[in-house]
Structure 1
Amino acid sequence: MKRHTFAAQALGLGHVRNLAACAAFVLPAGFAAAQDDAGEPVTLAIVGDVMLADGPGKSIARGRDPLAPFGKILAEADIRVANLECVIAARGIAEDKPFTFLAHPRTMAVVKRHFDAVSVANNHSGDFGAAAFAEMLDRLGKAKVGAFGGGRDLAEAHAPLIVERKGLRIALLGYNEFFPRSFEADADKPGIAWSEDEQVRRDIIQAREVHGADVVIPFMHWGIEHEPLADARQRALARLMIDAGADAVIGGHPHVTQDVESYRGKPIVYSLGNFVFDSFTDVDNNTGWLLRLELDRHGVRSWNTVIARMDGQGTPHPRPDLPAQCWDRETAEARACMAQVPR
């Protein structure tokens, strides 16, 4: 590989619709143990692609939990978020595409155990059609796991998920930018949110002005697979989002971690890499980050990462012995640091 991510080194405008009237989905504070306390920072843990079909799904069928090695680390956070890189449904007809991921409904128990919210804005949410996608949304709702970046229609897909913790209102927005463009929500059709520049800008502004968010974080599905550096489009869109008022921009999809940077004092983490996935054999594709953001009313106070290494079954294992990355508001520069994890 010609250049490497930090983790790999450590290891050797289209038509715009006005959605201002769209109601945000609010995730009650009761979804997690943390009690409201406006005097404390809020910790948000976010991971990349979680794919619960194939090998991870078989592990769950045998009574195992592929997220167990990260259970304590996730449990420490006030809010836990992932990109759900599969469809969880009882049945569906596979689309004509090289890779499709259908996870058994039993896997929802694992999602509920470890996550408060998931992004469904990715290139696999439509793998088994609109009915299976709608079934997954229903199952997430019954499990009290918030979903964002997709919905039963265009307005719902673009609505922010508002998560309230300790008096802080955090808006999560999700967008897909994987070509060819497909499975996009429409006025009367379920699907995912697509990253139209002007619509994204408007969504971010409305998250704060209409829905009362203190902190706004878009979670993107973008970039070129297996490339260790973000491309020009990712960089331009990240800046557009921060100019519109985003407090941080987080991304995934390339299956590898990518570079990080600051823009106007706001962090951009271009790709978290894989987190639960069993389709790869090389180190870069089996390495991901758990990103921990410390939030307050001014945005991101600090962030740090825990390196995850996946085994042959797609189970991630924390590697606090490897140099990771961290950042704080005062310096606004990423640096090497060792992750602190619970024993």
Structure 2
Amino acid sequence: TITFVGDIMLARRPGEYLAMGEDPFAGVADVLTRSDLTVGNLECVVSTVGEPVPKWFNFRCHPRVVPVLARYFDAVSVANNHSGDYGKEAFAEQLRLLREGGVAYFGGGMNFAEAHRPLILEQGGLKIALLGYNNVELRSYEAGPDTPGLAWLEPDQLAADVRAAKEQADIVVVYPHWGYDYMFWHAEDQAELARIAIDNGADLVVGNHPHVTQPVEIYKDRLIAYSLGNFVFDDFLDVGPDLAEPARTSWVLTVTVGRDGIRHWETRVARTDDRGFPQWIEGAASPCSDGAPEDGYLCYP
């Protein structure tokens, strides 16, 4: 089994509580530790260096988060619109700290080739390839031929990367950071990119960034989860009352895989508490599981 979660932001309020010794994942540890592999999107740059890039929000988290991540996650994506918030030196330091701390990463590297190289994880005799991408501001965060950065989401490059990964692995997962903040329905370009990934061999597409959940769709018998929402975050402090509750809610997606692809999937509902830490919602029915989709969609926000 592989469990995927939404955006993990360990700066600001969540980081303050973590610094006091509190575990941000304790409330959902049962599912995270039970899965064979657990994957999330690290929505802050782990670093002590650099200056903030001019933009609305900058998220930098302390290196103390690395052992906490290592306790629960096998891999994290560094392809998002905050991994470059403190410049190239900070991004490079993050890669080093994650590597030294035993947290595998994907979607970024010390150059373009590394950023687009799949992370291959082996479990139960299967090889699972993870590809991470971002297409949300700023393009300057992208890796260059000889400079560190993230993988930018471009259709032709996505297709080529997926085809190459399929030659190396049994299962290919594409993990894009895309879409628009607080939109409950995915944009057309998200659907187009997801279809490109699947048309070229991806078995699963798991999206993040909108800060709310978005629909789950079946396309060519493959699963597309457009947005899992906020997993660890405190942006309910930044939005109005109409968005505060949706910003607290996320889906945790668990899939069972085999050589023939995704065999089973289900989601659970988590809600962030006032620390920005996820907790299971007692009695909440799974919003989405495998079965006959209606109009191609299995569930809606």
Q: For 2:199, what is the secondary structure of its paired residue?
A: helix
Match of 1:285 among 243, 247, 262: 247
Unaligned runs of 5+ in 1: 1-42, 337-343
**Aligned-partner SS, 1:238:** helix
* Residues 1-343 of structure 1: pairs in structure 2 closer than 5 A: 43-209=1-167, 212-281=168-237, 282-328=244-290, 331=292
**TM-score scaled by structure 2?**
0.94
CA-based RMSD of the aligned residues comes to 1.3
**Runs of 5+ unmatched residues, structure 2:** 238-243
Counterpart code for 1:87: V
Aligned in 2, Cα 1:53/1:179: closer, same or farther, shift over 3 Å? closer
1:315 alignment partner AA: F
TM-score (norm 1): 0.82
Q: 1:4: which partner in 2? A: none
Deviations 1:57-107 (A, max 9, x none): 111111100111011110000001000000111222111111111111111
1:276 and 1:91 mapped to 2: Cα distance?
23
Give the Cα–Cα distance (whole angstroms) in 2 for the partners of residues 139 and 76 of structure 1: 26
Rounded Cα–Cα distance in structure 2 between residues aligned with 1:193 and 1:331: 34
Any runs of at least 4 consecutive aligned residues in structure 1 with deviations exceeding 2 A, and if so which?
179-182, 323-328, 330-336
Residues 180 and 58 of structure 1: is their aligned pair in 2 closer, same or farther, counting only changes over 3 Å? closer
1:224 CA drift (Å): 0.9
* Alignment length (residue pairs): 291
- Corresponding letter in the other structure for 1:297: R
For residues 307 and 91 of structure 1, the distance between their equivalents in structure 2, rounded to whole angstroms, comes to 36
Equivalent position amino acid for 1:280 in 2: F
Distance 1:201 1:62 in 2: 44
Q: Distance in 1 between matches of 2:283 and 2:142?
A: 41
Give percent identity, aligned residues only: 48
Amino acid at match of 1:276: V
Give deviations 1:99-150, integer Å, cap 9, x for gaps. 1111111111111111010000000000011111111100111111111000
Which of structures 1 and 2 has the bigger CA Rg? 1
Q: Which protein, 1 or 2, shows the higher relative CO under an 8 Å CA cutoff with sep ≥ 6?
A: 1
- TM superposition shift of 1:332: 5.7
CA distance in 1 between counterparts of 2:138 and 2:9 reads 21
CA distance in 1, matches of 2:58, 2:77: 17
Equivalent position SS for 2:56: coil
Tell whether the 8 Å contact from 1:307 to 1:320 is kept in structure 2 after alignment.
no
